[in-house]
Amino acid sequence: MSSEAKNLTADNAQALAHWCGGRLVTEHDALDDNKTSPGINVPLRDGVGRASVGDTIIRQHDGTFSIFKGTTN
């Protein structure tokens, strides 16, 4: 199995959560609670990590997942 990486966007969050076996969650902006965006609680080798919009979820060669924290504007 080869590794695969997918970028998390607001449009693909539900599909990515399904792809990685994660849980879709709603994140609230720290400065404006009325602003929300999707996030995913991703099962990792050593627990659970949060992927936010702009992050990349990576499926490793062995089938485990990791998160590369991206930057958002």
Please give the C-alpha separations between residue 51 and each of 1, 5, 66, 72, 73, in angstroms, as whole numbers: 23, 13, 9, 12, 16
DSSP 17-72: HHHHT-EEEEEE-SS-TT-EEEEEEEEETTEEEEEETT-EEEE-TTS-EEEE----
Of 38, 33, 36, the C-alpha closest to 9 is 38
pTM of the predicted model, to two decimals?
A: 0.90
Residue 2, pLDDT score:
82
Residue 72, pLDDT score:
53
Per-residue pLDDT of the chain (73 residues; tens, 9 = 90+): 689 999 999 999 999 999 999 999 999 999 998 999 999 999 999 999 999 999 999 999 999 999 999 865 4
What pairs with residue 47 in β-bridges? 44
